[in-house]
Amino acid sequence: MRVTMIVNGVEVAREIEGRLLLVHFLRDTLGLTGTHWGCDTSNCGTCVVWLDGEPVKSCTVLAAMAGGHEVRTVEDLANGAELDPVQEGFRQCHGLQCGFCTPGMLMTCRALLDRNPDPSEEEIREAISGQICRCTGYSTIVRSVKWAAANS
């Protein structure tokens, strides 16, 4: 089947199998490997992208379901060489260690700050509650988001 969507501001159209997951479409078909593939069960959250401005776990969305919609990936956060404040916050406050969960965390946290520019620690923890980080203990991620909020 043919699917057409906007990915990071660019219209793309490809022939795909109907069972292809969005995470695999982005990584394998389009070569956008910033979106990580972790579990295929929606437990880890490493594959979070935006679908029409809302964070979704791309391992739970068929690429065909994204047809006609807008998808934004972690590759689209930075403005050229200028990092998004969330990315800079993760850099400044050591919000990443191994980096595996980072793309999904960045997309989720950017969406949070777009809705709520000054979230509390509890609101940040609630926003990232659907994502697993095995390295940081989450405190540096919370600090990173607070830094981004203060520097946006």
pLDDT tens, residue by residue, 113-146: 999 999 999 999 999 999 999 898 899 999 999 9
Instruction: Give the burial class of 17: count Cβ atoms within 10 A of its Cβ; 0-12 exposed, 13-18 middle, 19 or more buried.
Output: exposed
pLDDT at 39: 84
The domains of the chain are located at: 2-76, 85-150
Predicted model pTM: 0.95
Both tokens of residue 46? 């490493």
Which residues does residue 21 pair with via DSSP β-bridges, in sequence order?
62
Report the phi/psi class of residue 31: left, alpha or beta, with left for phi > 0 and alpha for psi in -120 to 50: left
Answer positive or negative: Cα dihedral of 33, 38, 42, 46: negative
Q: What is the percentage of the chain residues whose pLDDT exceeds 70? A: 99
80 pLDDT band, cuts 50/70/90, is very high
72: phi then psi, degrees, rounded to nearest 5: -125, 130
Second CATH level (architecture) for the domain 85-150: Orthogonal Bundle (1.10)
pLDDT at 42: 86
pLDDT at 21: 97
Residue type, 119: P
Question: Tens of pLDDT along 40-75?
Answer: 788 899 999 999 999 999 999 999 999 999 999 999
Place of tokens 């260690």: 97
Q: Which CATH class is domain 2-76?
A: alpha beta
Q: What is the percentage of the chain residues whose pLDDT exceeds 90? A: 91
SS3 41: coil
pLDDT at 136: 87
